[in-house]
Amino acid sequence: MAQREGSAKVAAAIRWYKARRSTFQGWAQVVVPAVLFLGLVSVRVAEPGWVEQIQHKAFDAFQRAKPRPYEPVPVRIIDIDDESLRRLGQWPWPRTQVAQLVRRLSDLGAAVVAFDAVFAEPDRTSPSRVAELWPKSAETENLRRQLTRLPDHDRVLAQAISQAAVVLGFALVAEPNDVVPAVKAPFSYGGDGPLLYLDDFRGAVTDLPALEEAAAGNGCFSFLPELDGMARRAPLIFRRGQTLLPALSAEVLRVAQGASNYAVKSSGASGEGGYGQHTGISKIKIGRYVIPTDSKGRVWVYFTEDAPERTVSAWRVFNKGFDKSIIEGGMVFVGTSAAGLKDMRATPLNPALPGVEMHANVVEQVLLGRFLQRPDWATGAELIYMVLLGCLLLVLLPRLGAAWCALVGGAGMAAAVGFSWRMFADRGLLIDPVFPCLTILVVYMSSSLINYLKSETERRQVRNAFSRYMHPKLVAELAKHPEKLRLGGETRDMTILFCDIRGFTTISEQFDAHGLTQMINKFLTPMTGIIMDRSGYIDKYIGDCIMAFWNAPLDDPEHARNACQAALAMHQRLAELEGVWKAEAAAEGRKFVPIHIGVGLNTGLCCVGNMGSDQRFNYSVLGDDVNLASRLEGQSKPYGVNTIIGPRTRELVAEFAALELDLIRVKGKTKPVRIFTLLGDARKAQEPGFQRHVQVHDRMLAAYRAQKWDEALALLAECRGGGLPLEKLHDCYEERILDFQLHPPAAGWDGTFTATSK
């Protein structure tokens, strides 16, 4: 009675534990995804730099899928390309040559000429500068006086600039200096306006004062790449201390229109709505154009693919037959695509776009009104969608399961991507599809992972319970495919191995029952490890015998090769263990008897599967080729070799070192088979000595089967000097030949030997 009560208490405790564990796993399937979901929402709200980069990758993909189509507008690039440098000379050109370019473009009718370059230092080719380099002497003094009367090249360029609508470029730098670029037009804004949202540059590199003063406009050509080095947004406005400065593209638009100022609109200021927030700059008005920007006054550049009609090589402009209509009325940017001048930018469409093309793309999209915008409401809309999707999945996953929720999640992701794409393609709006999709993945995958871990825990319990009775690979296969746990089998091409200890009776006499068990275990453990390490399956142990096979339950295309490698490794490991066992025998005061094994390998079609009864069955293999493998192992002793392999195995491992033993009719079979001894791997087979021995041995077998007894004996004597441990094999053939000389075989004998023992 007490025992039954104790059992009942144990059973109740087990039921309580299982119920609590099930409850905990159920809570975990909801709580963990919820925590991860809230963490993802928090990250999205905080919006660190890497979050923005993820969004940008999606926007890049949209641009690559649908770049802005090129439409003819009056924007041209005069490209100082490699061919221009070859024809007109290396850069920097003398300022007189630059002046010629300005005058030429002005004569062709250019509305504005903008330089994506800075002329920060005096021209070294000016006559006065060249004269300073000459040594002082009586001969050069007169030449120096005449040379200094010639016009200065920088003045020549300044004069050319003053006679045309030219916009010069300057660079803003982080290193502090006292240089402030000239401002050609004022900025109007309310309060502190854009100064609150712009990064402050502490230095500048500007053009020579004379050039700067002569120019109609002065703009910054600097770009601020994203964290990944990609140029996606072009600033239209910069800050140097308390001074606002225009970008080169903005200044070109202003000068081309004859506008007198810039108007900057900020959210929460200047009459711009920002939902009560000061979220930054929203628009910049240049003449009649109102340009939407991000909070830092940057415009998203909507790039076109390569447009050759936009660009003119600089050398062509100087040709007399140049078509004036290409330049007339156009806004002309002078820049370079020459690789050596290193003015390249990585963009979503081009890993190396000349910087001047960035300016041209900006002006083109302003003229066309084709803008990309990230609206103020985008972040809020994305967060709301994230929260709705996440909450929906958290509610549905425990109720509908993974399959139905996969459909719901897939639909949510498709909606996010589809809506973002339509907003981009139809309205030029940049809406992030990544984080809504990431929300679905995080919630769904975390819930599925917990469910998987729960199932895997149950599977592991099954595997642990059965792995001591069945092979781990079979247990894993059954865990994946429980339907295989039934009687029946399949036909496979397999390699079977039998391994047996020779003279086991003599060895067993050295031990009592306990000692014999220990000895057998010390032998079987390393041999089993060798077989399993080479993808073999241990079918059974029959006393001191091991039966194993390859290519089941899992596919093994190299089953014959793996089996042969296992056989060679078993003999090698046995030789290593002999010293250990010999020392143990000496320590125990008993006679040491060396352990030798015979191995039989055969390959063929076999039936493999669960064999037995409905009450108990075993995963095993049956077939005629299985029996042959057993017989081959038995023949290793009379032939005095370690391993015998069948003909099909030999065919599959032709590169291994093997020697034909005989044409034999094993006991229980009527058809003879060729058998081989395995002596080494492919490296052994390539040894010249081994190859010579094979040739002599094959000639000996041919003479033996042709009943040329004297020739066979002579070749057999040559084989004995081959250096291979085949003495017993050679003795066997010598004994046969001598017997056949006295008692010739019957007529029609084909060299087959009939075995009388297993």
Write the pLDDT tens digit of every residue in 629-639.
999 999 999 99
For residue 244, the SS3 value is strand
Residue 105 has pLDDT above 90, yes or no: yes
pLDDT tens digits for 734-746? 999 999 999 999 9
Lowest pLDDT segment from 109-118, 405-414, 709-718:
405-414
Q: Supply the pLDDT for residue 224.
A: 81
Among 204-208, 269-273, 305-309, 411-415, the range scoring the smallest mean pLDDT is 269-273
**Is the pLDDT confidence value at 84 over 60?**
yes
**In whole angstroms, what is the distance from residue 333 CA to residue 224 CA?**
20
Instruction: Specify the pLDDT at position 506.
Output: 76
Cα distances (angstroms) measured from residue 133 to each of 143, 146, 147, 343: 12, 15, 12, 31
Residue ranges, comma separated, of all CATH 3.30.70.1230 domains in the chain are 492-675
Residue partners of 64: CB distance under 8 A and separation at least 6:
348, 349
| Tokens found for residue 316 | 């062509």
Mean pLDDT, range 336-359, rounded to an integer? 85
Residue 6: per-residue pLDDT: 41
Tokens, residue 406: 């996969």
Band (pLDDT 50/70/90 cuts) for residue 488 is: low
List the single range of 14-18, 128-132, 299-303, 464-468 with lowest mean pLDDT: 14-18
Is residue 485 over pLDDT 70? no
Tens digits of per-residue pLDDT, 593-633? 889 999 999 999 999 988 877 667 777 899 999 999 999 99
Coil, strand, or helix at residue 501? strand
At 184 the pLDDT is 94
The CA-based diameter of the chain, rounded to the nearest angstrom, is: 134
Q: Is 252 exposed, middle or buried (0-12, 13-18, 19+ CB in 10 A)?
A: buried
By the 8 A CB rule, do 287 and 253 touch?
yes
pLDDT tier at 214 (50, 70, 90 boundaries)? Answer: very high
Question: Cβ neighbours of residue 138 under 8 Å, at least 6 residues apart?
Answer: none
pLDDT at 50: 80
Q: What is the mean pLDDT of the chain?
A: 85
Band of the pLDDT at 464, cuts 50, 70, 90?
low
- Look up residue 205 and give its amino acid: V
Name the region of 342 (left: φ>0; alpha: ψ -120 to 50; beta: rest): left
Residue, of 139 and 533, whose pLDDT is higher: 533
Cβ contact 151:160 at 8 Å: no
pLDDT-based confidence at 148, cuts 50/70/90? low
Q: What angle do CA 232, 235, 241 make, to 5 degrees?
A: 140
- Show contacts of 745-752: CB within 8 Å, 24+ apart: 745/707, 749/707, 750/663, 750/672, 750/705, 751/663, 751/701, 751/704, 751/705, 752/663, 752/664, 752/665, 752/672
Rounded average pLDDT over 488-514: 86
CB 470 within 8 A of CB 551: no
The answer to whether residue 466 scores a pLDDT higher than 80 is no
pLDDT band at 236 (very low <50, low <70, confident <90, very high): very high
Question: How confident is the model at residue 7, as a pLDDT?
Answer: 40
**Closest of 758, 754, 723 to residue 736, by C-alpha:** 754
How far, in Å, CA of 282 to CA of 353, rounded?
Answer: 27
Q: Which two tokens stand for residue 445?
A: 């995958």
For residue 14, pLDDT beyond 50: no
Domain 492-675 has CATH 2.40.30.10: no
pLDDT (average), residues 177-190: 91
Would you say residue 450 has pLDDT above 80? no
**Residue 511, CA atoms < 13 Å, CB-side half-sphere:** 17
> For the residues 502-528, what does the mean pLDDT come to?
86
pLDDT digits over 264-313, tens only? 998 754 444 444 445 688 899 999 999 999 889 999 999 999 888 999 99
Between CA 563 and CA 569, with CA 564 as vertex, the angle to 5 degrees is 95
Which of 39-48, 271-280, 729-738 has the highest mean predicted lDDT (pLDDT)?
729-738
Using pLDDT thresholds of 50, 70 and 90, give the confidence band for residue 28. Answer: low
Strand partners, 501: 597
CB of 302 closer than 8 Å to CB of 63: yes
3-state helix/strand/coil string of 354-374: EHHHHHHHHHHHHHHCCCEEC
Token pair 């056949």 is found at 740
Residues of 302-321 as b/e, b for ≥16 C-beta within 10 angstroms?
Answer: bbbeebeebbbbbbbbeeee
Comparing 516 with 115, the larger pLDDT belongs to 115
Q: How confident is the model at residue 5 (pLDDT cuts 50, 70, 90)?
A: very low
Long-range contacts, stretch 416-425, CB < 8 angstroms, 24+ apart = 416/385, 420/58, 420/62, 421/62, 421/65, 424/59, 424/62, 424/66, 424/372, 425/62, 425/66
pLDDT value of residue 138:
61
Q: For 305-322, what is the mean pLDDT? A: 91
Q: How far apart are CA 138 and CA 270, in angstroms?
A: 70
- Provide the terminal-to-terminal Cα distance of the chain, rounded to the nearest Å: 59
- Report which of residues 452 and 63 the model is more confident about: 63
Nearest to 626 by CA among 666, 588, 589: 666
Task: Report the distance separating Cα 698 and Cα 644, nearest Å.
Answer: 17
- Adjacent-strand bridge partners of 237: 246
Q: Of 647, 558, 631, 622, nearest to 598 (Cα)? A: 631
Looking at per-residue pLDDT, the higher value among 5 and 689 belongs to: 689
